[in-house]
């Protein structure tokens, strides 16, 4: 078909020989006519959405036709989950109790909530005063065994390895239960804090194994998370609390003193932090100072005090601090 015989699908006019033509789905358009039918603007980067033979820019198509997610409130492009009288992104439609996604496994409606089959069974069991077996997820009609807050049928509380009946010392590995003998054969370390198996990263310290999050400072109980720790009498400490309890921390900056230490007024000071508490002028090991409210005051500032106050403080005069090396 020649250019002269073609007509624009929007305005019905023909094309000049030098004019740029837009071809879409077998139809032709002037470049200025190939626009969104709603806002009449060109399509950004040529991207458009077509509905019932009409072309829309992305924004207008979302506003006019795309449903909004009942969870996040965003437009849904692509797969839509229709449930509970609403629309959802597949990843947003989750069990209201355990938050597992329900898009591909189905759900149960319980008291206006969307629940997975396991949580629905638990809710029903709790309402009737019964338990749900943690292994088979069925309601336990007669007799149960409790292990780490989960209930089991008695015949489901057995070692996965040898089948022997288990007790409170059972070990759980990736959802399966094992007796101590079978667990030891697997070579899986036990955490020194929670006494549970360590299936991922292991910290070995103080002659024991630990979960990363369970190896903590004995003072502040914060995990070391790979940072250096200090051992003392079978306990582990972070750097700050180790030096606070057993070493020297500067009275001013509260940091570990790694070089020369000034000891004065029963406190430790970095060399460059030992200064007059009034004028803040640094003092050396030869500087004469006085103690006022448990803080050092240089001679110049001290002499500005009223005579009566100086008489009272005279007995508290502290000798020149000693310089020590650690």
Per-residue pLDDT of the chain (326 residues; tens, 9 = 90+): 556 678 888 888 888 877 788 888 778 888 889 899 889 998 888 888 888 888 888 888 877 877 888 888 888 877 888 888 888 899 999 998 888 999 888 888 888 889 988 888 778 777 776 788 877 777 776 777 777 667 787 777 788 888 787 776 777 777 777 887 887 777 778 888 888 778 788 899 998 899 999 999 999 999 998 888 888 888 999 888 887 787 677 888 877 776 677 878 778 888 888 888 889 888 877 788 888 888 888 888 888 888 878 777 776 554 555 555 44
Looking at the DSSP bridge assignments, the partners of residue 190 are 197
Q: Is 178 helix (H, G, I), strand (E, B) or coil?
A: strand
Confirm or reject CATH 2.10.110.10 for domain 189-246, answering yes or no: yes
Domain spans, the chain: 9-65, 79-129, 132-187, 189-246, 248-317
Name the class of domain 79-129.
mainly beta
Do 79-129 and 132-187 show the same overall fold? yes
Structure tokens at 301: 């500032």
| Alpha helices per DSSP H over 12-77 | 58-64
CATH assignment, 248-317:
2.10.110.10
Element (H, E) at 87: strand 86-88
Domain topology for 9-65: 2.10.110
Contacts of 149 (CB under 8 A, 6+ apart): none
Question: How high is the pLDDT of residue 4?
Answer: 61
CA neighbours within 13 Å on the CB side: how many for 290?
Answer: 19
CA distance 278 to 304: 11
Element (H, E) at 125: helix 117-127
Domain topology for 132-187: 2.10.110
Structure tokens at 21: 């033509």
């Amino acid at each position: 078909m020649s250019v002269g015989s073609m007509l624009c699908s929007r305005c019905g006019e023909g094309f000049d020989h030098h004019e740029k033509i837009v071809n879409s789905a077998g139809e032709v358009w002037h470049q200025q006519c190939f626009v969104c039918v709603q806002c009449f603007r060109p399509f950004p980067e040529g991207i458009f959405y077509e509905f019932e033979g009409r072309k829309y820019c992305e924004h207008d198509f979302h506003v006019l036709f795309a449903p909004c997610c009942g969870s996040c409130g965003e437009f849904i492009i692509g797969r839509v989950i229709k449930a509970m009288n609403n629309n959802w992104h597949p990843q947003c439609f989750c069990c209201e109790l355990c938050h597992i996604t329900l898009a591909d496994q189905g759900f149960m409606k319980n008291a206006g909530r969307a629940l997975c089959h396991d949580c629905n069974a638990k809710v029903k069991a709790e309402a009737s005063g019964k338990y749900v077996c943690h292994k088979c997820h069925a309601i336990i009609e007669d007799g149960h065994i409790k292990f780490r807050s989960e209930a089991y049928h008695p015949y489901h509380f057995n070692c996965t390895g040898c089948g022997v009946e288990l007790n409170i010392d059972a070990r759980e590995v990736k959802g399966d239960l094992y007796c101590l003998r079978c667990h030891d054969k697997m070579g899986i370390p036990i955490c020194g804090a929670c006494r549970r198996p360590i299936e991922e990263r292991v910290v070995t310290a103080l002659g024991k194994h630990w979960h990363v999050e369970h190896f903590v400072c004995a003072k502040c109980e914060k995990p070391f998370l790979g940072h250096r720790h200090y051992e003392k009498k079978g306990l582990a400490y972070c750097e700050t609390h180790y030096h606070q309890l057993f070493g020297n921390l500067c009275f001013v900056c509260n940091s570990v003193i790694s070089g020369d230490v000034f000891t004065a007024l029963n406190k430790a000071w970095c060399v460059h932090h030992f200064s007059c508490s009034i004028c803040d002028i640094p003092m050396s090991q030869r500087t004469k100072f006085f103690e006022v409210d448990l803080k050092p005051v240089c001679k110049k500032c001290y002499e500005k005090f009223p005579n009566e106050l100086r008489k009272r403080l005279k007995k508290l005069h502290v000798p020149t601090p000693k310089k020590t090396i650690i």
